[in-house]
């Protein structure tokens, strides 16, 4: 199983991180490529298990994201057929060691440790995508989601605001990596990222349905 993730896929989130890799104009959009990184399989955290904060890594930020599940083998997938390669969606959290990431950026080094440490890829319960004539019966780019911490909403997202859409991402990633059944794609986080603390209760919602529920320890 591979875990792919996308950085800087929402304009407002780019602004809150000091305009890093900001893409706003159509012309710039066409000349840029998605920011893709991976997480180790040991990063996966599911079934409501608690997230143990690695305090030795400094500040750990939550990044709520839509996550899609790859359902078939594919390589070099045309964008027009990309919708056939995922069968479920959920809300996940891409935990980020922010200070470690900043240091890596400043030194021109990869984000691997900051993004891929154990437990950093949380996923909720899968919501199957019902299909009709090989197409999804709902629009993957028309989904609302939000993340609550201790009963208060801290992040709200709409998939229609993505700079790079899900099908575009799948087509792009599959140019370099063979996608396999069970692979995951974290599609980027909207504005509102922030630190988590011990005893925080985190809940994620997709179209009003709670699909994610866990505690930080």
> pLDDT digits over 37-84, tens only?
999 999 999 999 999 999 999 999 999 999 999 999 999 999 999 999
Looking at residue 30, its pLDDT comes to 41
CA 132 to chain centre: 26
Query: Residues 100, 14, 142, 5: is their CA dihedral positive or negative?
Result: negative
Share of the chain above pLDDT 70, in %: 87
Structure tokens at 114: 């900051």
- The two beta strands, 135-136 and 131-132, are antiparallel
**pLDDT tens-place string over residues 156-190:** 999 999 999 999 999 999 999 999 999 999 999 99
Structure tokens at 94: 């891409």
Alpha helix (H) residue ranges in 9-154:
11-16, 26-31, 98-106, 112-116
Alpha helix (H) residue ranges in the chain:
11-16, 26-31, 98-106, 112-116, 166-173
Whole-angstrom distance, CA of residue 181 vs CA of residue 189: 24
> Average pLDDT of the chain?
90
Q: pLDDT-based confidence at 11, cuts 50/70/90? A: confident
Which DSSP letter does residue 49 get? P
Whether the pLDDT of residue 141 is over 50: the answer is yes
């Amino acid at each position: 199983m591979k875990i792919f993730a996308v950085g800087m896929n929402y304009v407002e989130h780019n602004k809150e991180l000091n305009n890093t890799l900001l893409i706003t104009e159509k012309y710039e959009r066409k000349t840029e490529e998605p920011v893709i990184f991976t997480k180790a399989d040991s990063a996966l955290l599911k079934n409501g298990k608690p997230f143990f904060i690695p305090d030795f890594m400094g500040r750990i930020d939550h990044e709520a994201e839509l996550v899609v599940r790859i359902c078939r083998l594919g390589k070099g997938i045309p964008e027009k057929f990309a919708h056939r390669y995922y069968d479920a969606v959920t809300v996940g959290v891409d935990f980020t060691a922010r200070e470690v990431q900043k240091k890596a950026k400043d030194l021109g080094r990869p984000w691997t440790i900051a993004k891929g440490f154990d437990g950093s890829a949380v996923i909720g319960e899968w919501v199957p995508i019902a299909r009709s004539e090989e197409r999804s019966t709902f629009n993957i780019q028309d989904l609302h989601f939000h993340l609550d911490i201790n009963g208060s909403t801290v992040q709200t997202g709409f998939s229609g605001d993505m700079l790079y859409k899900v099908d575009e991402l799948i087509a792009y990633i599959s140019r370099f990596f063979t996608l396999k059944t069970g692979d995951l794609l974290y599609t980027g986080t909207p504005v509102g990222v922030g630190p988590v603390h011990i005893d925080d209760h985190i809940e994620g919602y997709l179209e009003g349905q709670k699909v994610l529920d866990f505690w930080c320890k």
